[in-house]
A and B are shown apart, each in its own frame.
Chain A
Amino acid sequence: MTKTLKLRFNRKQLCIPYAAFLILFVICPLLVIIYYAFTNGTGQFTFDNLVNFFSNTNTLGTLLNSIAIACVTTIVCLVIAYPVAYILARSKFRRKYVLLMLFVLPMWINFTLRITALKEILSFIEGNLAMYPFLNTVIGMTYDFLPFMILPLYTALSKLDKSLFEAAEDLGASSFTVFMRVVLPLSVPGIISGVTMVLLPSMTNYVVLDMLYNSTYIMGSLIGSYFAAYDWNNGSMISLILLIIIFIITLATNKFNDDQSSGRTVL
């Protein structure tokens, strides 16, 4: 008895290095961000950075703009990816994982190189990319994040029990009704995880815009410009605001997932 107790204790100690690492390099940086967000350059406590953010039309406009871009990108990705995932999941094609691979393979190619390719072809079609900044941003983000939407949707849809659709059809539902009332509600967890994979990066990945037409006007780029200006305090405030947004999104999606899983157990 004492022997096993002692050994258990040994195994538990293995988590100490990783716990220390997490505290030092994951928790501490966030605390430092909070500290810097509420101090000024000389280290005195202040709300100036917060006031700066909400009184400046430029930063506020950036916030609204990045929310708009993130929402539109997410919807476009969902509209493109859902049919793809649905067709793949229901297809009787034997080698369908090869097809799935084709759709998610770009995930492994460096995204800056993919955006370079997109930039070349968009410039060829449109000429000056800065003419349609919103459109090109959405195209760029969609190009970048589409695989991350397809994969979770496919996973959710391929797990669905096919006999449920047959049962609904036998009970007289049209294929449209089957989709709206059976397939769609059951694929909500996949939709949620796809949305979280796309929504957040498209609020912060300013490199896509920067590469396409040398401009940045989403939340992530504010951090970039404060970083370039060595303004740690205002940069920290933006990071903190982003952290709060991320926290809210994570809480909301977790709640949704819980509801969904409890709904499934009832079913």
Chain B
Amino acid sequence: MKITKKVISAVWLVLVLAFIYVPILLLAVYSFTDATMVGGPVGGFSFQNYLTLFKNEDLRGMIGGTILLAVGAALISAVLGTIGAIGSFYSKRTAKHLINYANQIPVVNADVVTGFSLCVLLIVLLGIGKDTFVPLVIGHVVLCTPFVYLSVMPRLRQMDNNLYEAALDLGATPAQALFKVVIPQLLPGIFSGFMLAITLSLDDYFITTYTKPATFDTISTYVVNATKGGQTEIKTALWALSTIIFLIVVIVVVLMNVASRKKKTTEERI
């Protein structure tokens, strides 16, 4: 009885993992061939897709733009969200609750609605040009900042309140106390908020489509257009991109796990 249960459990896990990974891995295998579709005729091993990915100006510009936008939006969000969280934490109850509720709106709202409403306000009503990138950056900051706020908040709650007062008593100015005492304590929260902001921005499609300049594309909007277009060369080059991103994600996850385990073991030793 127990053994059958274990077998069924293992089979279920393997099946779900297969559902998740077979498409990604199959695409990775085909990205190293000259095939034009999965299951299609394979002539032989080829790095052509990877060469196209690095040589094609369009593709390179698109990838660079996506990363630049993600890092920029995440940096702005990290600053804005951290300052907002500190300010709201020390505010009166009503102000705090209002900010908490407003912060929750972009989190629960559908991205389509967030993007469309920002487009109507900024581009249609206020007439800010899409080509200025202002609506796009604002859109991504709206998407990311609430999550920075949410990951800094728990750190503020855990922090010993007396530290700030002690710093002031020892002669620090409020600004010094903030930068040298409070913010270092919040750093892990700010960092995880920043990482979350980057992944959210990289993954976004909807806010980008509704606010981006016509000639600018992120990975998401580019891929969606490419699946509709007939350019096989671009299509298969995107398989290479998918494989590279998959490898980067795996490496980052493994490194983070190793780092956290090392930290744990050193803590245990202490």
- Chain A interface residues toward B at CB < 8 A: 3-4, 7-8, 10-19, 21-23, 25-30, 32-33, 36, 80, 83-84, 87-88, 91, 97-99, 101-103, 105-114, 116-121, 123-124, 143, 146, 196, 200-201, 203-207, 210-211, 214, 220, 223-224, 227, 232, 235-236, 239, 242-243, 246, 250
Contact = CB atoms under 8 A, between A and B. Distances in A.
Contacts of A15: 83-84, 86-88, 90-91, 95, 99
B242 A116 contact: yes
Given A103-B16, A110-B203, A113-B223, A8 B23 contact: no
Contacts of A28: 121
B250 interface: yes
Contacts of A123: 37-38
Given A18-B88, A113-B241, A236-B120, 6 more contacts: A112-B219, A120-B26, A120-B30, A120-B39, A124-B39, A200-B110
Given A18-B84, A243-B113, A211 B120 contact: no
A204 B30 CA distance: 31
B117 A103 contact: no
Interface residues of B, number: 82
B259 interface: no
- Identify which of A21, A33, A83, A204 gathers the most chain B CB atoms within 10 Å of its CB: A21
A25 B111 CA distance: 14
Interface of B: 9, 12-13, 16-17, 19-20, 22-24, 26-27, 30, 37-39, 80-81, 83-88, 90-92, 95, 98-99, 102-103, 105-106, 108-114, 116-121, 124-125, 138, 141-142, 145, 149, 165, 168, 174, 178, 199, 202-203, 205-206, 209-210, 219-220, 223-224, 227-228, 238-239, 241-242, 245-246, 249-250, 252-253, 257
A99 B12 CA distance: 13
**Chain B at the A interface: SS class:** helix
Contact of B227 (A10, A98, A119): A119
A135 B168 CA distance: 63
